[in-house]
A = this chain, B = another copy of it.
Amino acid sequence: MRVMVIGGDGYCGWPTALRLSRRGHDICIVDNLSRRRIGRDLGIESLVPIATLSDRITAWSEIGGAPIKQYEIDIAENAEALADLVTQFRPEAVIHFGEQRSVPYSMMDPSAGLFTVRNNMMGTINLLEALVRTKTDAHVIHLGSIGVYGYETLGYEIPEGYQRVRNVDANGNLGPEQETLHPFNPLSKYHLTKALDHLGLAYYAEQHGIRATDLCQGAVWGAETPETRRDPRLANRFDYDPIYGTVVNRFALQAALDKPISVYGTGEQTRAIIHMDDVLDCVEGALAAPPERGDRVRVVNQIAECVSINALASLFAELSGVEIMHLPTPRSEPDENELIANNQSVLEFGVEPTLVSRENATDLIEFARRFADFADETQLYPVTQSPDLVPAS
């Protein structure tokens, strides 16, 4: 299958491109390299040194992988170039990872926030429009976020996108049962963009027959995949800094360096997480089972487990013998919450979730230890609060 991987140079995008290439798909990577630029601007680097995208692709060919095409296009700003490439490549599926993915970055300052909104929202719309105007019937697999519903305790299992409800009229009478989109409650600009994206996908699915899947993902953890392990130039990025590091990977490096595990606030937050291996399996599952033309957007809660931050912190602290340190939360989120989400689609894809077991956590600490010399200890903990937040009085 001809598969365009937008954001194919990123943490999820690169291992996805390799996996799908290995499966025999014809891969075209589109990336604006903004993740690398932001890293340079902020002075933060992946723990694991990563090769340039060109060198990565060359390495993949040298070890016998199929050629991967590479295009540096900013799809949010250059709709024409994207449409031209769609015409030329004729993708049968587009996997859209091409979004600014950091919650803290999206809240860091106004320009980072507006970049996030413009990059994510306009990129998605330009992609959908490019498919319509070039009459390309490609399945769009978009990386959404399970966080679009907010982090309040809802008191019920988050359904996969749609909920069954009955209206209550002014007199308290119940209307007939109907299925509607579960309402959004984004708590960051990042999550706002994922909600906006969903409305865009829904519109193009309904009005233009675009086949779309929204993978509402939890926080991803993990380092290598069978493909990235095959050559140092194929290595995937591993972020641990307060802006791009996801919780499990950060804890693993802190443990590897014998530094305190840093918990924001009480640690009584529950978060949905998923291992990189499961992400790839889900993407493959979604690719193999596209919606029909005319269907509404298929929503997948792409999560392996819901865990409390304190439980994760305790595990990594225990395995490494370090302390747990509570820091003021830099995020605008409830101090504690419960979270239950339906992940039936993940199970239907045949994924056997990889959990943060003692064994897996130990392996991850071990992995991080191999790269300990590359760690920048000034990046282990946040130093500033989100400056642009004006609390409601």
Contact = CB atoms under 8 A, between A and B. Distances in A.
A121 interface: yes
B118 A122 contact: yes
Contact of A166 (B117, B168, B332, B393): B168
Contacts of A167: 156, 163-165
B133 A110 contact: yes
Nearest to A176: B155
A157 to B, nearest CB: 8
A321 B133 CA distance: 43
Nearest to A107: B207
Interface stretch (A5-13, A198-206, A257-265): A198-206
Interface in A180-196: 180-181, 183-189, 192, 195-196
Contact of A209 (B110, B114, B174, B392): B392
Given A183-B181, A199-B192, A200-B192, A389 B207 contact: yes
Contacts of A156: 167, 169, 175
Interface in A131-189: 132-133, 135, 155-157, 163-169, 174-177, 180-181, 183-189
A388 B192 contact: no
Nearest to A162: B183
A305 B208 CA distance: 31
Interface residues of A, number: 57
Given A129-B114, A165-B165, A203 B209 contact: no
A293 interface: yes
A15 interface: no
A392 B164 contact: no
A79 interface: yes
A303 to B, nearest CB: 18
A122 B132 contact: no
A267 interface: no
Contacts of A389: 207-208
A388 B133 contact: yes
Closest 8 CB pairs of A and B: A209-B392, A294-B392, A165-B165, A164-B168, A180-B183, A110-B133, A192-B203, A181-B183
Interface of A: 79, 83, 110, 113-114, 117-118, 121-122, 125-126, 129, 132-133, 135, 155-157, 163-169, 174-177, 180-181, 183-189, 192, 195-196, 199-200, 203, 206-209, 293-294, 332, 388-393
Given A117-B125, A133-B388, 11 more contacts: A79-B110, A110-B133, A132-B390, A135-B390, A156-B175, A164-B168, A166-B174, A180-B183, A185-B206, A199-B199, A208-B392
